[in-house]
Amino acid sequence: MNVKVRFAPSPTGSLHLGAVRTAIFNYLFAKKNNGKILVRIEDTDKERSSNESLIEILESLRWLGLDWDEGPIKQSNRLEIYKAAADKLIDEDLAYRCYMTQEEVNLLKDKAKAENKVYKYPNTWREKKENPNGRDFVIRFKTPYQTKINFNDTLRGNITIDSSTLDDFIIIKSDGFPTYNFASALDDAEMGITNIIRGEDHLSNTPKQVLIFNSIKKKLPNFTHVSMILGKDKTKLSKRHGAESINSFKEKGYLPISIINYLARLGWAYGDQEIFTLNEMISNFSLDNLSKSPAVFDSEKLSWVNNIQIKNYPNSELKERLKLEFIDGVDEELAINAVKEKNKDLNELQKSLNFCLLTNESYENELINELDNQAVSELKKFIIVWEEKKPKEIEEIKEVFTNYLNENEIKMKSLALPLRILLTGTKSSPGIFEILKILGHEIVIERIKKFIKNNEK
């Protein structure tokens, strides 16, 4: 059987971590099994859906590199299909029109609340034959009485629900739009989805969808309900838990692979391995070793993963991704390597590179102005030796440097610190030998001379 999965986001906000993780699992599963991925936009809530959200979600998916084969298909463009399907169910006496008004429903809900019960539609219109003309109606599914609803979940095994715990749920709203449970099940059936991989929060919707599948005589897909991601307080991840849209992670300097790696590893494991390439994840992925219990999101571990992934990321791609423009003559490879070792995210990495980037030639700051006369005279002496010896390779630089220190009985720190500040404008930077090599002879001399000149005025 050819595998086909779907991402089915609803465009009511930005793409969140939970949604991304299920997208990742779908992606890995599809790629592993040479399957197809469909993107379906579940925009059946007229009020809350927006085009901005849709655009942002698709952009986030693309940014992550989670590409798809089919779609995006918008459910709002398929209204006639759902309508026709619902009418057919009415003809077959599997669904019916309900003319109960919103006010009547609210009354029942209030009453239930007052009695400390949960509202359940009392099937008022289930057997009524009248058709009040011109009144708004919804279409409800005729949930069979006293039936066991069965389905299989990859992770949780056989699940049986008694139909008495369900009510006659709405499949078409009064505005003519289908509800989630109806549209989703219908589409999954019609679009030939073989595996539904989604969050555990949908587990209790599944019986309703199974009823829909059965009523249109379609074979059930394989269900996999993945555990939820929880916040630090162990409740469902939400706005309270801080920035959680993918966009915000992008802005905070995370690599797509870091997010994919971390999120995949949250609820899935392959032995003791922590760091994966995309291909490693694909080839080792399997649905049946997903964790069944919810997982708490840990931003510190994400940050660690990001750090490692940055280190593993090819320099050329890093240069391209960050649009790095180096000053002429700079040893780019060494610069990137030196800075990769130290940084936790892309933003910091770029900042550490400022001293050798074209875009930031004004690297000077107040630190440089704070250098004292001692430093000035020290550098004056040093530059003479430096100009004369012209060391190029790291080893030569090191030799010239240490020889100079020994001959003049100067401590490493008293020369290295001012030099570092002068050359990079910051107190924290790669090693001083690396700095000298990265900038190269010409730039080093230029910067020292400029500094001396400025301080002689």
Partner RNA sequence: GUCCCCAUCGUCUAGUCUGGCCUAGGACGCCGGGUUUUCAUCCCGGUAACAGGGGUUCGAAUCCCCUUGGGGACGCCA
Q: Is the peptide bond before 144 cis (omega within 30 degrees of 0)?
A: no
Which tokens is 223 given? 């269900």
Nearest to 250 by CA among 17, 12, 5, 18: 17
Distances (CA, A) of 354 to 189, 252, 315, 424: 54, 18, 16, 8
In contact, 352 and 429? CB cutoff 8 Å: yes
Q: How far apart are CA 384 and CA 132, in angstroms?
A: 100
In contact, 230 and 236? CB cutoff 8 Å: yes
Cβ distance to RNA smaller for residue 291 or 403: 291
- 93 is a contact residue toward RNA (CB under 7 A): no
Least distance in angstroms from the C-beta of 2 to RNA: 25
Number of residues in contact with RNA under rule CB under 7 A: 83
Amino acid at 86: A
Q: Which stretch binds RNA (CB under 7 A): 125-133, 213-221, 293-301, 328-336?
A: 293-301
Of the candidates 271, 328, 366, 406, which one interacts with RNA according to CB under 7 A? 271
In contact, 198 and 226? CB cutoff 8 Å: yes
Of 181-240, binders to RNA (CB under 7 A) are 181, 184, 200-205, 227-228, 230, 234-236
In contact, 261 and 302? CB cutoff 8 Å: no
Of 99-128, binders to RNA (CB under 7 A) are 100-102, 105, 116-121
Q: Which stretch binds RNA (CB under 7 A): 27-35, 82-90, 180-188, 376-384?
A: 180-188
Q: How far apart are CA 282 and CA 37, in angstroms?
A: 14
Q: Which stretch binds RNA (CB under 7 A): 60-68, 179-187, 210-218, 329-337?
A: 179-187
Of the candidates 63, 304, 363, 404, which one interacts with RNA according to CB under 7 A? 304
Residue 77, number of CB atoms within 10 A of its CB: 10
Q: Binding marks (x or -) toward RNA, 360..399, rule CB under 7 A?
A: ----------------------------------------
Of 309-348, binders to RNA (CB under 7 A) are 341-343
Cβ distance to RNA smaller for residue 2 or 265: 265
Least distance in angstroms from the C-beta of 456 to RNA: 26
Of the candidates 295, 376, 383, 452, which one interacts with RNA according to CB under 7 A? 295
Of the candidates 28, 58, 170, 356, which one interacts with RNA according to CB under 7 A? 170
Q: How far apart are CA 369 and CA 426, in angstroms?
A: 12
